[in-house]
Amino acid sequence: MNDDEVKRALVQAADAARFAPSIHNTQPWRWVVRGDRLELHGVAERQLREQDPDGRMLLLSCGTALHHARVALDAEGWRHEVERPAGEPLAVVRAAERVPARPEATRHFQMLQVRRTDRRTVTDERVPEDTLRHLVKVTEEAGARLHVLGRDQVLELAVAVGQAQHAEAGDERITAETATWVGGDRAEGTGIPASALPEEVPLTTVAERDFPSRGTLAAGEGHDEAATYAVLYGEGDEAADWLRGGEALSALWLAATEQAVNLLPLSGPVEIPFTRQALRRMLGGVGFPFLPVRLGTLDPAQSAPPKTPRLPAGQVIDVL
C-alpha cells in the first residue's frame, strides 16, 4: 500500500458519497483529502437556513454521505477508522490496510446506485415481519435505533406530520426557501427536479410532504393502509448523535433497497420544535427522534422516478 493508492481510494470514496440522499438534495457536504485523511465538512451555503436553522437535517444528510463513503471503502477492502470530532471537520476517515473485500460489501456498494427517494404510493403488500426485524438490526449496528409504530402511533404520527406541514406552509420564509430548491429540471446539480415529485399528492393516512410545486411523477392509486411507519432515533441530541443518525439512515435505506423495500423519509415533524417534542413523547421519552420513515412495497409496473442530479466531484471534493 503506498500513499498514492490510499489517496486514490479516499477520492473514490468521496466521489461515491455524492450519491447520498440529503434534505431537498442540498448535498451540504464537502470532502477534503489531506494525505491519508478524508475529512468531511458541512457546507453552510447549502444549509436550509429557514427550515433547518439548527442544522439537524444538514447533519443527518452529512451522515448519509459519510456512510456512503465507508461503504465504498469496504467494497474495495479498505479497513478504515472514523473519528467524529465534536465540530469541524465533522468526521475524519483514515484508511488503514487493504484486505480482500467481503461479498456483502460489494452488494451494499451496488445499492448506492439503485437507492432513490420514490414518492409513489405503496401497494397493499406489507413488509414482512422478518424483513422489519432485519432492518431494525441493521439500524442498531449502524449506531441508532428504529422504533416501528403501532396503529395508534401511526395516527399520532399523521397528526404531527399534518401540524408540521401546516406550520411550514404558513411560514413565507420557509416556502420561499423551499421554492429555490424544489421543482424545475435542476440543471445546476442540486435540488429536487419536478420528475421526482408527484403530479398530485396522494391521499394517505400519513401525508407525504406537500412540496409547494407539483411534479410530473405518476404516484399511483394506492393508499398507505399496508405501509409500515417507523421512527429512526438515537440516544443523544448533540451534533455527533445526528451525524450517527445519518449514518444509520444510510445503512437502513441501503438495506431496505436490497430487500426491495421502499423507504420514504418524512422529516417535517422533526423540523418543527413542538412536533419534534410530540415524536419524543411517542418514543416514551427514551431517546431523540431523528426521522420518521414510511416503509412499504412499490408496484414495479409503475415507472420509478429518474435519478436526481448531483454536484460534480470538483465542487465537493478538494484534494490537498
Convert residues 75-114 into a mask of x (bound to ligand FMN by CB under 6 A) and - (unbound): ----------------------------------------
Smaller CB separation from ligand FMN, 67 or 119: 119
Smaller CB separation from ligand FMN, 77 or 315: 315
**From CA 45, how far away is CA 178, in angstroms rounded?**
14
Asked if 121 touches ligand FMN (CB under 6 A), the answer is no
Asked if 256 touches ligand FMN (CB under 6 A), the answer is no
Asked if 64 touches ligand FMN (CB under 6 A), the answer is yes
Give residue 47's Cα distance to chain centre.
Answer: 15
CA angle 162–262–312, rounded 5-degree value: 95
Count CA atoms within 13 Å of residue 42 on its CB side: 26
Smaller CB separation from ligand FMN, 33 or 122: 122
The CA-based dihedral angle spanning residues 50, 265, 119, 157, taken in that order and rounded to the nearest 10 degrees = -90
Q: In the complex, what is the shortest distance from the CB of residue 300 to ligand FMN, in angstroms, rounded to a whole number?
A: 17
Q: In the complex, what is the shortest distance from the CB of residue 263 to ligand FMN, in angstroms, rounded to a whole number?
A: 9
**From CA 291, how far away is CA 53, in angstroms rounded?**
16
Q: In the complex, what is the shortest distance from the CB of residue 61 to ligand FMN, in angstroms, rounded to a whole number?
A: 5
- By DSSP bridging, strand 37-42 and strand 91-98 are antiparallel
Q: In the complex, what is the shortest distance from the CB of residue 211 to ligand FMN, in angstroms, rounded to a whole number?
A: 7
Smaller CB separation from ligand FMN, 265 or 287: 265
**From CA 266, how far away is CA 110, in angstroms rounded?**
25
Give the range of 15-23, 93-101, 152-160, 169-177 binding ligand FMN by CB under 6 A.
15-23
- By DSSP bridging, strand 317-319 and strand 29-34 are parallel
Asked if 175 touches ligand FMN (CB under 6 A), the answer is no
Q: In the complex, what is the shortest distance from the CB of residue 166 to ligand FMN, in angstroms, rounded to a whole number?
A: 15
Smaller CB separation from ligand FMN, 131 or 267: 267
Instruction: Figure out which of the listed residues 143, 308, 316, 317 binds ligand FMN, where binding follows CB under 6 A.
Output: 308
Among 123, 118, 105, 119, CA closest to 68: 105
Among 55, 23, 56, 61, CA closest to 40: 61
* 287: alpha, beta or left? (left if phi > 0; alpha if psi -120 to 50): left
Instruction: Figure out which of the listed residues 7, 18, 145, 209 binds ligand FMN, where binding follows CB under 6 A.
Output: 209
Asked if 245 touches ligand FMN (CB under 6 A), the answer is no
Asked if 192 touches ligand FMN (CB under 6 A), the answer is yes
**From CA 171, how far away is CA 51, in angstroms rounded?**
9
**From CA 47, how far away is CA 311, in angstroms rounded?**
15
Asked if 42 touches ligand FMN (CB under 6 A), the answer is no
Instruction: Figure out which of the listed residues 21, 28, 234, 269 binds ligand FMN, where binding follows CB under 6 A.
Output: 21
Asked if 268 touches ligand FMN (CB under 6 A), the answer is yes
Give the range of 30-38, 68-76, 125-133, 263-271 binding ligand FMN by CB under 6 A.
263-271
Cell triple for 104: 456483502
In order of 24, 172, 205, 318, the CA distances from 168 in angstroms are: 14, 8, 19, 35
Instruction: Figure out which of the listed residues 28, 183, 198, 265 binds ligand FMN, where binding follows CB under 6 A.
Output: 265
**What residues make contact with ligand FMN under the rule CB under 6 A?**
21-25, 57, 60-61, 64, 116-117, 119, 192, 208-209, 265-268, 291, 308
